[in-house]
A and B are shown apart, each in its own frame.
Chain A
Amino acid sequence: GENVEQHPSTLSVQEGDSAVIKCTYSDSASNYFPWYKQELGKRPQLIIDIRSNVGEKKDQRIAVTLNKTAKHFSLHITETQPEDSAVYFCAADTGTASKLTFGTGTRLQVTL
């Protein structure tokens, strides 16, 4: 089955700096890669996603890059703000019944 690794587990950045979170996956059949933001005690919220036919996608301060050959994808947050502080999860979907395998999460702390 699919295995998704995520790094780092914690990340502290100063407000205004950029944050990068990286994930690798094992199943070459995976074709959809969403990123979720989860605040304490709340549901995961989709913030951006990318499909395997695209190498990069951007939405305002958030971007995701995908390298299919290397089987890794990354989340980039620019101009970080305190409200970006949360746990971020990457995931991979093989397309079989839309089943997602999640990474272990990254706790992002944006300090003033």
Chain B
Amino acid sequence: GAVVSQHPSWVICKSGTSVKIECRSLDFQATTMFWYRQFPKQSLMLMATSNEGSKATYEQGVEKDKFLINHASLTLSTLTVTSAHPEDSSFYICSAPGGRAKPQYFGPGTRLTVL
């Protein structure tokens, strides 16, 4: 099946700093990628849809200025958590559809801890 990678797998940062997370589709092209956030023992909550060549679409309640998304190419989307605070600590996961009428494949996730 299709492979999605994510980097870094974990990151610890100080409050107020920015953190960039990369999501790559390794063996297929993805014009759309999705970013999710998952708190402990909770479900995956869609944050935004990343669109190659255009602006991301954010879900209601997600601050676009805080969670910057850039879909630079057909295989790379980045999520930047700006001015991170402890409440942003979470498991961030990206996904990409494997192709037309194919399921979504998830990256391994990035565990962000903000001190």
Complex Cα–Cα for A102 and B103 (A): 14
Q: Which of B59-115 contact A (CB under 8 A)?
A: 91, 93, 95, 97, 103-109, 111
**Does A104 sit at the interface, judged by CB under 8 A?**
yes
Closest-CB distance, B35 to chain A (whole angstroms): 12
**Does A61 sit at the interface, judged by CB under 8 A?**
no
Please, how many residues of chain B have a CB less than 8 angstroms from a CB on the other chain?
Answer: 21
Q: Are B34 and A99 in contact (CB under 8 A)?
A: yes
Among B43, B45, B49, which residue has the most Cβ atoms of chain A within 10 A?
A: B43
Complex Cα–Cα for A58 and B111 (A): 34
Q: Are B109 and A34 in contact (CB under 8 A)?
A: no
Identify A49's interface contact among B32, B45, B103, B107, CB under 8 A. Answer: B103
Q: Which of A78-112 contact B (CB under 8 A)?
A: 89, 97-105
**Does A44 sit at the interface, judged by CB under 8 A?**
yes
Residues of B within 8 A of A36 (CB): 106
Question: 7 interchain pairs (CB within 8 A)?
Answer: A36-B106, A43-B93, A43-B108, A46-B1, A49-B103, A98-B97, A104-B42
In addition to A36-B106, A45-B106, 18 A-B residue pairs with Cβ atoms within 8 Å of each other are: A32-B103, A34-B103, A41-B91, A41-B111, A42-B109, A46-B104, A89-B43, A97-B32, A98-B97, A100-B95, A100-B104, A101-B46, A102-B43, A102-B44, A102-B45, A102-B46, A105-B42, A105-B43
